[in-house]
Amino acid sequence: MKRSKVVYAAIMMAGMSLWSQGASADYMRGALTADDSGQFYCEAAKNWCFGLASVQEDAEGKSAPVLVVIHEGNEIARQKIVLADASEEEVFGWQKTAIWQAWISGPAQSAPFLIGITRTTSVGYSGGGASVSMLSLVRVDPGAMDAKTQRPPSFDVVGMLPIQSSKMIRACFSEQDVLDRQEHCHDVYEFDADITPIRLGDGEGMDDLPALQYQARASKFPRWADLTKDSTTMPPLEAQDLVAAPDPDCSFDRVLGFDSDARTYQIDIPADDCSTYWVP
């Protein structure tokens, strides 16, 4: 599948090894909440707020997200962001970009911090559908700001990860299928992930970005659901099948370290094995 290869390449772009250098234990994850306008998401003190606009890139109407940054009540930047999964491939369905409603901030006001932009791709199937959200992590460096010259912070995409997906596949094509499935006429696949900063130990790079704990959990319904198999050839559902079962192959914890030389997070996740969840 051509689309899947593009997604896999984007996921793996930062490499496949873990990075063991420590980052400051003072890095913390906090919430970004909507302001009164609903257009910006702000941290608790409202010193930093982030929103999205868009800019048209070609005559066909393709657009790219523009990160709008407000600092201490003033707009200081409108920065076009090239998301980690951007490609020239045609995308079927529709896409929506949004501010990730969390940020990972450092111990000092001038320390680099992380925000995120999610891109959700939704597609419809015959009797079903799928929605997949990918998170692009953006490093914001306030240390690059210069009030005299009005130079804004620097912005760099430093990694991309799947953050959520839901997929429903039609499984009933006849009255007998409805009976055999006890009226449960969809196979359902769910994936959710969370990211928090952690400390691995002391070392170089402590003034940069923290290591991240990436926790992923996947499930499927019925418990034997498998996209590689025709569900209509499976035995009728029994009571023990009518549960959402964890998928151990795509439920995992990873430590993602920031490579200060490559300026990216080192991503080590089973992309090929989990395409069921990460490709619409």
User: What's the rounded mean pLDDT across residues 108-119?
Assistant: 91
- Dig out the tokens for 232 from the structure: 């209509």
262 vs 280: CA distance, rounded Å = 30
Calculate what percentage of the chain has a pLDDT beyond 70.
Answer: 81
Alpha-carbon span 184 to 196, nearest angstrom: 36
Q: Hey, what amino acid is at 252?
A: F
Cβ pair 237, 184 in contact under 8 A: yes
Coil vs helix vs strand at 276: helix
Q: Per residue, what are the HEC states of 157-215? A: EEEEEEEEEEEEEECCCCHHHHHHCCCCCEEEEEEEEEEEEECCCCCCCCCCCCEEEEE
Residue 199 has a pLDDT of 77
* DSSP character string of 231-250: GGGSPPP-GGGSSPEE-GGG
Q: Is 199 exposed, middle or buried (0-12, 13-18, 19+ CB in 10 A)?
A: middle
Strand order of the β-sheet with 40-42 is 33-34, 40-42, 48-56, 63-71, 74-80
Which stretch, 106-110, 181-185, 196-200, has highest mean pLDDT? 181-185
How many other C-beta atoms can be found within 10 angstroms of the C-beta atom of residue 14? 24
Residue 197, token pair as written in the block: 């900063």
Per-residue confidence at 220, pLDDT binned at 50, 70, 90? very high
Under a CB-based contact definition with an 8 Å cutoff, are residues 172 and 158 in contact?
Answer: no
* Strand pairing class (245-246; 28-31): unpaired
More confident residue, 94 or 14: 94
174 vs 85: CA distance, rounded Å? 39
Of 3-17, 49-63, 176-190, least confident by mean pLDDT is 3-17
Neighbouring C-alpha atoms within 13 Å toward the C-beta of 85: 27
The secondary structure of the chain in percent helix, strand, coil, rounded to multiples of 5, reads 15, 45, 40
Query: Would you say 102 and 29 are in contact if contact means Cβ atoms under 8 Å apart?
Result: yes
- Residue 62 pLDDT exceeds 80: no
First to last CA, the chain: 11
Is residue 22 within 8 Å of 206, Cβ to Cβ?
yes
In this prediction, residue 108 carries a pLDDT of 82
What average pLDDT does this structure show over 262-275?
84
pLDDT at position 60: 66
**Residues sharing a CB contact under 8 Å with residue 213, sequence separation 6 or more, in sequence order:** 195, 196, 197, 198, 253, 254, 255, 256
Per-domain residue ranges of the chain: 2-278
Residue 148 pLDDT: 67
User: Mean pLDDT throughout 55-70?
Assistant: 80
Tell me what the pLDDT averaged over the chain comes to: 83
| 118 bridge partner residues | 98, 135
In this predicted model, what pLDDT tens digit does every residue of 69-99 receive, in sequence order? 999 999 999 999 888 665 545 556 788 999 9
Mean pLDDT score, 220-228:
89
| Selected residue with higher pLDDT from 269 and 84 | 269
pTM: 0.83
